[in-house]
Amino acid sequence: MLTAACELFTERGYTATTMQAIAARAEVAAQTLYFTFETKRAILKELLDREVAGDGAPVATLDRPWVAEALAAPPEQLLRTLVESTADIHARVEPLLEVVRSAAADDPQIAELWQTNIGQRHTVLAVFTGALAAKNALRPGLNAVRAADMALAVLSPENYRLLTRHQGWDGAAWADWAAENLIRTLLK
């Protein structure tokens, strides 16, 4: 059901995709879909969680093994690991995030979901920039919150989409650009 919903959301957009269309694509009764998820918004939220994680395991981003590894690394490697992981996440989730971003203008509940997603990304980035601050690696005059703000802008799915989908970069080229940008901008 989630796969069918993801296909339809990215093909048609959130508003144009109905619960009945999802059920038909998934080859299940509409009642089954409603019983499992209740609402189209719940399906979209579940899809976002699954795509960000890359699996169905109920493990928060900050509890994933790569995060502990990155936080323990020297500053440049910390940023490179963060960017590489972000590139992997964006490769999976960017089309769905574009669905959410586009639908947010017309649907207050989806606008709330979009704002929650931005807040979650900032929270994760603040952990990384906090680790850089604790290592005394941030450039003078830059605190962890401002560094997280800057990382949020550089690592945004909008930038990823612009450079990979519209400008033809591959994920590795985007990751190289983003890592170099963050290293120059954030570190001493």
Binning the chain into helix, strand and coil, the percentages to the nearest 5 are 80, 0, 20
All structural domains of the chain: 2-186 (1.10.357.10)
The model's pLDDT over 10-56, given as tens digits with 9 standing for 90+, comes to: 999 999 999 999 999 999 999 999 999 999 999 999 999 888 888 77
| Structural contact between residues 69 and 84, judged by C-beta atoms closer than 8 angstroms | no
Whether pTM exceeds 0.85: yes
pLDDT one digit per residue (tens) for the chain, 188 residues: 999 999 999 999 999 999 999 999 999 999 999 999 999 999 999 999 888 888 778 788 899 999 999 999 999 999 999 999 999 999 999 999 999 999 999 999 999 999 999 999 999 999 999 999 999 999 999 999 999 999 999 999 999 999 999 999 999 999 999 999 999 999 99
Q: Report the helix count and the strand count for the chain, using DSSP H and E.
A: 10, 0
